[in-house]
């Protein structure tokens, strides 16, 4: 239930004044998510300082991007971000995604991702097919949102090529 989300744009690390009480389960999930994000920021900062290629992926509308930490990182001249729907990489769902790259990434390589906006719930602009809505469960009883946690192979291939390009040029 996202109507009483423990985070919002103003309080991306957690809302101290929610409209309704936050369940203990949601408080725990929020606390764990905050700790994981803090742990993620540490190697990102090291990679930035050492100019090592890196990427961070999260849903395009994730509240993490509202934190001062990520806002400051995205403003750095060595950092770039792209938005795309995972359907552009062969997924049967739209799943708007944001990738943030840093560490000497060749921005020309980012063109591998087609950033055209998919017009789902109508037919997908990439496949012409109707996409799966990430609500409810798949025929096997697995929630669609959980199934969509797996990255499409084409997305992984593109990320690997982008991250490995600077490494190839440094080795030559």
pLDDT, one tens digit for every residue, the chain (172 residues): 455 677 878 888 888 888 888 888 888 888 898 899 999 999 999 999 999 999 999 999 899 999 999 999 999 999 999 998 898 898 998 888 999 999 888 888 888 887 777 766 678 888 888 888 888 888 889 998 888 888 999 999 999 999 988 554 443 3
Q: Give φ, ψ of 96 to 5 degrees.
A: -55, 130
Query: At residue 7, what are phi and psi to the nearest 5 degrees?
Result: -120, 155
Query: Containing H/E element for 161?
Result: helix 153-171
Nearest to 162 by CA among 110, 93, 124, 115: 110
Distance (Å, rounded) from C-alpha 144 to C-alpha 146? Answer: 5
Whole-number pLDDT of residue 69: 95
In the beta sheet, which residues pair with residue 56? 100
Tell me which residue has tokens 């669609």: 144
The CA-atom distances, in angstroms, between 50 and each of 89, 130, 161 are 31, 44, 20
pLDDT of residue 117: 73
Calpha distance 30→73 (Å, rounded)? 22
> Could you tell me the CA-to-CA distances from 86 to 123, 157, 168 in Å, in that order?
14, 13, 27
Task: Give the C-alpha separation, 93 to 41, whole Å.
Answer: 28
How many other β-carbons are positioned within 10 Å of the β-carbon of residue 136?
Answer: 9
Q: Which two tokens stand for residue 4?
A: 């009483």
pTM: 0.84
> Which tokens is 17 given?
């004044």
The reported pLDDT for the residue numbered 3 is 56
């Amino acid at each position: 239930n996202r109507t009483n989300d423990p985070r919002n744009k103003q309080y991306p690390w957690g809302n101290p004044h929610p409209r309704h009480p936050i369940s203990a389960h949601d408080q725990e999930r929020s606390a764990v998510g905050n700790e994981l994000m803090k742990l993620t920021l540490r190697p990102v900062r090291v990679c930035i300082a050492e100019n090592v290629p890196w990427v961070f992926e999260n849903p395009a509308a994730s509240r993490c991007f509202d934190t001062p930490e990520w806002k400051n990182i995205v403003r750095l001249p060595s950092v770039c971000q792209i938005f795309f729907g995972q359907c552009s990489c062969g997924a049967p769902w739209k799943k708007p995604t944001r990738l943030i790259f840093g560490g000497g990434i060749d921005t020309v390589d980012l063109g591998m991702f087609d950033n055209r906006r998919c017009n789902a719930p109508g037919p997908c602009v990439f496949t012409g097919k109707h996409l799966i809505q990430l609500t409810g469960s798949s025929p096997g009883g697995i929630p669609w949102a959980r199934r969509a946690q797996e990255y499409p192979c084409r997305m992984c291939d593109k990320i690997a090529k982008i991250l490995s390009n600077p490494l190839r040029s440094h080795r030559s």
